[in-house]
A and B are shown apart, each in its own frame.
Chain A
């Protein structure tokens, strides 16, 4: 059975990549091989060097900043590092090609996508204008793009993320290269789109016998597609093995830690929450009107009338894909945007129609932790002042506020000495802890976490989720936890609302919704969730 897969497509021997100026090595002694028709997943957290490795193979390292300082890269037996610039150019797209993470920015915005795919053929001297166009249309059909003629004449901004990624894939595969490098190709996509793109890559791989080097941080995806896995950490190769060897019998501590941090789709089983109700939302909605007097008005229901309740000590998950209205709901709840109608009762008071001045004293009672810890902290303030600012605004004496900053930092797993540092001196996970400390400083009754762990590596994600759960159980703060990731919701939430196109399609306890979904859309989401068949924490597939 393995005969078709024996041809070696990519061989990397003892690769080092280092910075040109300081000579510091960023990846060290990386060696692995990849065979025809095989999918090798290169896994690691941010800063592990997995993208650098792939760029080195393509010869796309920024020559001003990075260089390969040792080792050998063979693509179909040809030494990439010894090739001239022109030889390398000719190898790209014909022998090796690449699909990138961000389909939104990977295409030239000022040219039609048809012209951009045709360019691949043109720069490699394939055919004439007529045959090139035909080949591109055929390729669009092969990657299941609807109406290839129309797509051919479209600009990237007119296409969805999934469609753009299909364009990038056609570009990469139209010359039938033997090696496809996919660098987080589905990370920026919704789960259902991700499912389709992964299926497409697999289909193309079988059709053309392509060897796929798939770079990802998501073990869910890995468990679905990998034949073999290479685990990297901070520039070093940690472990190589078949999928089952790595996921079920990891030999290295780092791999064990990483795999066991991955949340599973099956909730851990929680007691029903019995706390008093602190928040009740009824018929909350947001309507945007677009257009002008001349073109006629268009109504967009960003959020259809939605209700929810939250009890003390409860974590309520709001899950949905992009455009489902979950962030609109969060922003309306916090009055960061004005809801069109509905009621938000915090205790006995309806805050939905208050003026900003009236609202101010209530702001203390609901706090937000945002998605991106790199941008949600003021870079010019010390941690002490970031965390204390809210308290000072609400009249806490300075001494007392600073003393509490120390306590809070300890509570979120940082230390008092870190008070005088600036945000850039912290890692992503630490910054998110600072954001949580800031939110807790005012002793809120409701905490809104909007994709608060999405930007974090899986091991850090696990720690932050545990921290949120502990704080919730300890202080009784109610948490509204917004996420696109069902697996994260499964791990932390008591109840979930599933949203689609601005409305709640299903709600209930997390067990109920994830194990016995009533709605087709929920089933679709669960079906598309990567890694749903694998129990990472216990290193085994679900029975």
Chain B
């Protein structure tokens, strides 16, 4: 098992290298000249050349690439073209809220969706099953910003239970953290609850048709155990796959949720950096998100082996 983890970790190195190259080239060939942006409209050609030289933009592409890699290795992610602050610092300031939101969203979704899905499978065909599945379709087709503004309207403005916007970190003010994170989590979770509940239901139903479920019943296993012990564990692989790809796509929802609830997170930083063509910042953000994607995939693969002993790479 340990050997497998080490091998999987090693195998991510070439992937990371390719990702780094693509990220670099993407921006290198993107329209828009970073030197021109920095210099402003009134710059002379001499000033432009001077900036290019300072940024290393006059060197061959591959030299620039390796220089960039070497800088990354030293922890230097560059300086923002706009704020002139180190990129690493800017990202670090924004990671907390986004990470909090991602963790609460995924945890809440999993805790609600899997029992819901298993329940629907158990109540298959009955009214409660159809109700759960109808709600799932509804939850899946409602955009995050609609759910978000609805929640704000009902629970903040009308009921006054939660602040309308804002964010506080868990460390600084746990109570305010809980009050501010609840609505964005709910808004962002609906899609994932719908998605995970549906896949849980269908996977469990599929497993229930298997021969070993009949064996379990024939040996007198109570229905509850048939569902939780025999069916759910065998249904885990497709459920984990969906949770994993859900987590990977979370960033899209985070951008919207952070805007709706005015949370100073990474999602908004991504949007800001792209609008400002802040190249060093964009590069680092893409790289960071890629590393997160790769990490999620790694975790999913490891979880597979945990739930299904037949899977060994």
Contact = CB atoms under 8 A, between A and B. Distances in A.
Nearest to B7: A294
B43 to A, nearest CB: 56
A93 B219 contact: yes
Interface in A20-73: 58, 60, 64
B130 interface: no
A110 B309 contact: yes
B216 A108 contact: yes
A64 B215 CA distance: 18
A124 B222 CA distance: 10
Interface in B209-258: 210-212, 214-223, 225, 230, 233-234
B218 A98 contact: yes
A187 interface: no
B215 A171 contact: yes
Nearest to A105: B211
A155 B307 CA distance: 13
Nearest to A119: B221
Max chain A CB contacts within 10 Å: which of B212, B216, B217?
Answer: B212
B216 to A, nearest CB: 7
A110 B218 contact: no
B228 to A, nearest CB: 13
B215 A168 contact: yes
B310 interface: yes
Contact of A60 (B214, B225, B234): B214
Contact of A119 (B211, B219, B234, B308): B219
B308 A123 contact: no
B212 A109 contact: yes
Contacts of A172: 218-219
B175 to A, nearest CB: 42
Contacts of A376: none
* Main SS class of interface, B: helix
A157 to B, nearest CB: 5
B125 interface: yes
B215 A94 contact: no
A100 B308 contact: no
B222 A89 contact: yes
Interface in A362-377: none
A109 B216 contact: no
A460 B165 CA distance: 75
Contacts of A124: 220
A92 B233 contact: no
B219 A97 contact: yes
Nearest to A59: B217
Interface string A79-95: 00000010001111110
A100 B214 contact: yes
A121 to B, nearest CB: 10
Nearest to A85: B223
A89 B220 contact: yes
Contact of B234 (A64, A97, A98, A108): A108
Interface of B: 125, 210-212, 214-223, 225, 230, 233-234, 307-310
14 contacts: A64-B125, A90-B220, A91-B220, A92-B219, A93-B218, A94-B220, A108-B216, A109-B308, A110-B233, A110-B307, A110-B309, A119-B221, A123-B225, A171-B215
Given A92-B219, A123-B222, A155-B310, 9 more contacts: A60-B214, A91-B220, A92-B217, A108-B212, A109-B309, A110-B234, A111-B233, A157-B309, A168-B215
